[in-house]
């Protein structure tokens, strides 16, 4: 027994390294997932998020480290012995079997009595509302129905941990948002631990209790969605989360960290929520498009002069693109308040909601 | 824009003339090719229905006016194949005895090997696959003499097991390639899902993959059956006189020098020998083409 195993931890990944030849796909990765938690692994393609999930499922052998599920070391256990259920992007339903056959396949292999299997299939199909489909084959189902069946196949296992590998990525936009809500409802009802891989930040922000942002096989930040959004730990996270992306202005902090300067721009940093700013010759300020307002007159220390280039109406809002010192910035404003192209305006910055980064180590100050 | 009412303008599919230049060319080529390949068959059939006088006196292209099945009966039942005069029926049974086990065993082994190579990579699986690929390009003639010695040392030379063994082994590279490529083309997530469900090596193979592999099994069976049935060389070398397959018997009937050439019997025997692969062509044309394509492109 490992004495470090925290009692309320459902899934625990310790110093996990996975190498293919000389390349480390995952590097000394540590992750503690609490009982009943919904964790989303988010990152660009090739960041190692799916690889990590496959390691958890036992479908990939890791090079170094340990995986614990429910207080048991499952590092070398077979996928079926780990107490996990998995849902795949391509549904991965067995085409020659009916929906019922698909859902009961694993239980049959485990040698469960028939009536018990039927009971579990019934219960899962009620939860997912796929009762009328039980005798159909996957080929006769729509994409949304197939993914429901795939979730059902994981559900009947009655396991503690569900692993989702981009389950909604093959669906069209409308279905995706419907199933997203349904997944959240399912989690509220079942209270299982769920680990969910996606590259879609909306899914991550809406579903997760905590998001792990990954890049290059390393977890960049593991935090609640709100914190990830408002207090990104480094430049990568700041640029990755949020659409349209955060605006970055390169400059320096001066006067012992009381102000940010970049050419003509001079911003008062009092009210900044973060660490000790100090004087840093290379600093970057990050401003989200929705945290900037457009005003007509300059306020010393609070505004940035800009010229309106174009605007993109997005329904309720309009995304305005402006030129600041020859560089592009975007600001989200209510549709009625969008300025005319070519207008000279001033951008009022909310320092409390901004993020400062040290350019040398790319970390948030 | 002038306001032309919709009803007045042309609508629906544009009418096309039937005789267009490309169509005429295509059909001319197709008909010529068909005639070219069907003509020998025509000659074979009419010759087999004539008696020997008609053949000796007449033109080989003219159909007979008093067709007889005597030649067919003789070819089947009493034509001489060297020492014995029991017709080609002996060869038919020998061919079946050779083809059936060779096909079944080679496909059974190849499907499992292909599945392993595609889904259960082991340390040198890539190297193994490369060797397999390479072995498809070695002319099999160079392996015949060693195989004769091997089967002799095994004590099975000139018996049914020897020819079955040789056919099985020579079928494996191509068959394994076919199965490996087919299984590799199935979604990997299906394999992963089955593993999460607790299915093992054989469970995944028999319960998930085999039911999905009907097309490739059909293709392999067609390739193996026609290939082994049409073989002459392995049969004449490894089977031994009592087990000669139909192709070897046919050769013996045609080449046995007793009296004049019985062309009608030769033709009947030839058609009888070709009947099995011919039937397979007709019954499974679509799959046969797929098999040829798979063998040609995928290797």
| Ordered DSSP codes for A147-190 | HHHHHHHHHTT--SEEEEESTTTTS-HHHHHHHHHHHHHHHHHH
pLDDT score for A3: 41
Q: Do A90 and B187 touch (CB under 8 A)?
A: yes
Per-position DSSP letters for A18-74, written without gaps between them: EEETTEEEEEEEEEEEETT-EEEEE-STTSSHHHHHHHHHTSS--SEEEEEETTEE-
pLDDT score for B258: 66
Same domain membership, residue B184 and residue B228: yes
Mean pLDDT is highest, among A165-174, B132-141, B250-259, for A165-174
The pairing of beta strand A84-87 with beta strand A38-42: unpaired
Same domain membership, residue B193 and residue B106: yes
Instruction: Compare A51 and A8 and report the one with higher pLDDT.
Output: A51
pLDDT score for A126: 92
Distance of CA A335 to the CA centre of its chain: 29
User: Which candidate from A59, A105, A109 shows the least CB-CB separation from B192?
Assistant: A59
- The overall average pLDDT reported for chain A is 91
Show the CA angle centred on residue A266, arms to residues A261 and A267, nearest 5°: 100
Q: Is residue B265 part of a domain?
A: yes
pLDDT score for B257: 60
- Predicted confidence band of residue B3 (pLDDT cuts 50, 70, 90): low
How far does the CA of residue A79 sit from the closest CA of chain B (Å)?
5
Q: Do A106 and B189 touch (CB under 8 A)?
A: no
Same domain membership, residue B159 and residue B42: no
Q: Do A109 and B211 touch (CB under 8 A)?
A: no
For residue range B139-182, what is the model confidence (pLDDT) as tens digits? 888 999 999 999 999 999 999 999 999 999 999 999 999 999 99
Same domain membership, residue B178 and residue B42: no
User: Which candidate from A84, A93, A95 shows the least CB-CB separation from B196?
Assistant: A84
> How much is the average pLDDT of A128-156?
92
Instruction: Compare A211 and B6 and report the one with higher pLDDT.
Output: A211
Q: Do B187 and A92 touch (CB under 8 A)?
A: yes
User: Which among B12, B37, B68 is the end of a domain?
Assistant: B68
Task: Please state the pTM of the whole predicted model.
Answer: 0.83
pLDDT score for B283: 83
Strand ranges (DSSP E) for chain A?
9-20, 23-34, 38-42, 64-69, 72-73, 84-87, 161-165, 193-198, 210-215, 218-223, 247-254, 259-262, 265-268, 280-287, 292-295, 303-314, 317-324, 327-334, 344-349, 355-358
Of A102-116, B84-98, B149-163, minimum mean pLDDT range: B84-98
Same domain membership, residue B228 and residue B103: yes
- Predicted confidence band of residue B7 (pLDDT cuts 50, 70, 90): low
Same domain membership, residue B42 and residue B173: no
- Using a CB-CB cut-off of 8 Å, the residues of chain A touching B211 are 96
Same domain membership, residue B129 and residue B47: no
Interface residues of A toward B, Cβ cutoff 8 Å, are 54, 57-59, 78-80, 84-86, 88-96, 105-106, 109-110, 153, 165
The pairing of beta strand A280-287 with beta strand A327-334: unpaired
Q: Do B195 and A80 touch (CB under 8 A)?
A: yes
The pair phi, psi for residue B78, each rounded to 5°, is -135, 5
> How much is the average pLDDT of B238-267?
85
Q: Do A59 and B189 touch (CB under 8 A)?
A: no
Q: Do A80 and B203 touch (CB under 8 A)?
A: no
Check pLDDT > 80 for residue B285: no
Q: Is residue B191 part of a domain?
A: yes
List the CATH number of the domain containing B215. Answer: 1.10.3720.10
pLDDT score for B55: 82
Same domain membership, residue B189 and residue B108: yes
Q: Do A153 and B197 touch (CB under 8 A)?
A: yes
Q: Is residue B271 part of a domain?
A: yes
Same domain membership, residue B48 and residue B143: no
> How much is the average pLDDT of A116-140?
93
For residue range A243-267, what is the model confidence (pLDDT) as tens digits? 889 999 999 999 888 999 998 889 9
A227/A233 Cα distance (integer angstroms):
9
Same domain membership, residue B93 and residue B43: no
How many Cβ contacts (< 8 angstroms) between chains A and B? 58
How far does the CA of residue A159 sit from the closest CA of chain B (Å)?
12
A329/A245 Cα distance (integer angstroms):
10
Q: Do B192 and A78 touch (CB under 8 A)?
A: no
- Using a CB-CB cut-off of 8 Å, the residues of chain A touching B193 are 86, 88, 92-94, 153
Best to test chain B binding among A74, A86, A149 (most B CBs inside 10 Å): A86
User: Which candidate from A57, A85, A109 shows the least CB-CB separation from B203?
Assistant: A109
Instruction: Compare B70 and A41 and report the one with higher pLDDT.
Output: A41
Best to test chain A binding among B120, B121, B188, B197 (most A CBs inside 10 Å): B197
Q: Is residue B202 part of a domain?
A: yes
pLDDT score for A24: 85
Instruction: Compare A234 and A23 and report the one with higher pLDDT.
Output: A234
Same domain membership, residue B167 and residue B49: no
pLDDT score for B2: 54
Check pLDDT > 60 for residue B103: yes
- Predicted confidence band of residue B4 (pLDDT cuts 50, 70, 90): low
Q: What is the DSSP letter of B207?
A: I
- Using a CB-CB cut-off of 8 Å, the residues of chain B touching A138 are none
pLDDT score for B294: 55
Chain A contact for B169 (CB, 8 A cutoff): no
- The overall average pLDDT reported for chain B is 87
Q: Is residue B6 part of a domain?
A: no
Q: Do A109 and B193 touch (CB under 8 A)?
A: no
Distance of CA B296 to the CA centre of its chain: 14
pLDDT score for B88: 87
For residue range B9-66, what is the model confidence (pLDDT) as tens digits? 777 888 878 888 888 999 999 999 999 999 999 999 999 998 888 888 878 888 877 8
B249/B94 Cα distance (integer angstroms):
10
Check pLDDT > 80 for residue A59: yes
Same domain membership, residue B149 and residue B52: no
- Using a CB-CB cut-off of 8 Å, the residues of chain B touching A54 are 192
**Considering only CA atoms, which of A327, A295, A335 is closest in space to residue A311?**
A335
> Domain range spanning residue B47?
21-68
Domains and CATH numbers, chain A: 9-239 (3.40.50.300), 244-358 (2.40.50.140)
B86/B77 Cα distance (integer angstroms):
5
Q: Is residue B36 part of a domain?
A: yes
Chain A contact for B5 (CB, 8 A cutoff): no
Residue in chain A nearest B191 by alpha carbon? A92
The total number of structural domains in chain B stands at: 2
Q: Do A86 and B212 touch (CB under 8 A)?
A: no
pLDDT score for A1: 36
User: Which candidate from A59, A90, A110 shows the least CB-CB separation from B195?
Assistant: A59
Q: Is residue B10 part of a domain?
A: no
Q: Do B196 and A89 touch (CB under 8 A)?
A: no
- Using a CB-CB cut-off of 8 Å, the residues of chain A touching B195 are 58-59, 78-80
- Using a CB-CB cut-off of 8 Å, the residues of chain A touching B194 are 94, 105
Best to test chain B binding among A81, A85, A88, A112 (most B CBs inside 10 Å): A88
User: Which candidate from B193, B197, B212 shows the least CB-CB separation from A96?
Assistant: B212
Q: Do B207 and A95 touch (CB under 8 A)?
A: no
Buried b (16+ CB within 10 A) or exposed e, A243-258: eeebbbbebebbeebe
pLDDT score for A8: 67
Q: Is residue B13 part of a domain?
A: no
A293/A303 Cα distance (integer angstroms):
9
* Collapsed DSSP state (helix, strand, coil) of residue A215: strand
> How much is the average pLDDT of A221-230?
94
A155/A149 Cα distance (integer angstroms):
9
- Using a CB-CB cut-off of 8 Å, the residues of chain A touching B199 are 105-106, 109
pLDDT score for A49: 93
pLDDT score for B297: 43
> How much is the average pLDDT of A314-328?
89
> How much is the average pLDDT of A29-57?
93
């Amino acid at each position: 027994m490992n004495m470090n195993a925290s009692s309320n931890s459902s899934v625990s990944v310790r110093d996990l390294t996975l190498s293919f030849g000389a390349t480390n796909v995952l590097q000394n990765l540590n992750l503690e997932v609490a009982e009943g938690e919904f964790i989303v692994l988010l990152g660009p393609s090739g960041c190692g998020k799916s690889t990590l999930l496959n390691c958890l499922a036992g479908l990939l052998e890791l090079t170094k480290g340990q995986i614990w599920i429910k207080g048991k070391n499952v590092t070398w256990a077979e996928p079926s012995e780990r107490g996990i259920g998995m849902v795949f992007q391509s549904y991965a339903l067995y085409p020659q079997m009916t929906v019922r056959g698909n859902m009961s396949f694993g239980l049959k292999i485990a040698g469960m009595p028939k009536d018990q299997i039927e009971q579990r299939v019934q219960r899962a199909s009620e939860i997912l509302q796929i009762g009328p489909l039980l005798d159909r084959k996957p080929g006769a189902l729509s994409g949304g129905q197939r993914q429901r069946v795939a979730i059902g196949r994981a559900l009947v296992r009655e396991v503690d941990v569900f692993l989702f590998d981009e389950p909604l990525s093959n669906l069209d936009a409308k279905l995706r948002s419907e199933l997203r809500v349904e997944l959240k409802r399912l989690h509220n009802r079942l209270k299982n631990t769920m680990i969910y891989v996606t590259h879609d930040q909306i899914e991550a922000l809406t579903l997760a209790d905590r998001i792990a942002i990954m890049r290059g096989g390393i977890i960049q930040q593991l935090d609640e969605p709100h914190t990830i959004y408002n207090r990104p730990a480094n430049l990568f996270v700041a640029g990755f989360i949020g659409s349209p992306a955060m605006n970055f202005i390169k400059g320096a902090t001066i006067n012992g960290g009381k102000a940010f300067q970049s050419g003509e721009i001079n911003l008062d940093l009092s009210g900044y929520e973060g660490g000790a700013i100090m004087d840093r010759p290379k600093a970057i300020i990050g401003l989200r498009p929705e945290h900037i307002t457009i005003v007509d007159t300059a306020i010393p220390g609070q505004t940035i002069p800009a010229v309106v280039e174009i605007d993109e109406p997005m329904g309720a809002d309009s995304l305005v693109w402006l030129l600041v010192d020859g560089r592009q910035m975007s600001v989200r404003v209510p549709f009625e308040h969008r300025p005319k192209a070519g207008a000279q305006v001033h951008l009022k910055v909310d320092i409390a909601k901004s993020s400062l980064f040290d350019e040398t180590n790319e970390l948030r100050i | 824009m002038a306001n032309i009412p919709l009803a007045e303008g042309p609508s629906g599919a544009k009418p096309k003339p039937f005789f267009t230049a490309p169509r005429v060319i295509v059909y001319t080529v197709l008909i010529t090719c068909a005639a070219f390949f069907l003509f020998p068959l025509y000659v074979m059939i009419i010759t087999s229905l004539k008696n020997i006088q008609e053949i000796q006196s007449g033109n080989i292209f003219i159909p007979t006016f008093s067709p007889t099945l005597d030649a067919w009966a003789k070819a089947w039942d009493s034509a001489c194949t060297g020492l014995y005069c029991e017709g080609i029926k002996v060869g038919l049974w020998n061919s079946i005895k050779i083809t059936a086990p060779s096909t079944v065993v080679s496909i059974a082994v190849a499907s499992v090997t292909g599945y392993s190579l595609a889904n259960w990579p082991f340390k040198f699986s890539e190297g193994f696959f490369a060797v397999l690929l390479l072995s498809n390009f070695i002319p099999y003639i160079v392996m015949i003499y060693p195989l004769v010695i091997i089967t002799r040392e095994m004590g099975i030379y000139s018996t049914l097991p020897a020819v079955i063994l040789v056919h099985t082994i020579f079928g494996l590279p191509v068959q394994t390639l076919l199965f490996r490529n087919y299984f590799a083309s199935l979604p990997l997530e299906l394999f992963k899902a089955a593993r999460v469900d607790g299915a093992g090596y054989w469970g995944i193979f028999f319960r998930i993959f085999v039911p999905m592999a009907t097309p490739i099994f059909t293709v392999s069976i067609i390739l193996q059956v026609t290939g082994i049935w049409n073989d002459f060389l392995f049969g004449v070398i490894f089977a031994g006189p009592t087990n000669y397959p139909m192709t070897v018997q046919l050769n013996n009937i045609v080449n046995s020098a007793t009296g004049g050439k019985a062309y009608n019997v030769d033709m009947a025997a030839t058609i009888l020998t070709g009947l099995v692969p011919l039937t397979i062509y007709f019954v499974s044309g679509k799959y046969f083409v797929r098999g040829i394509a798979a063998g040609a492109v995928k290797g």
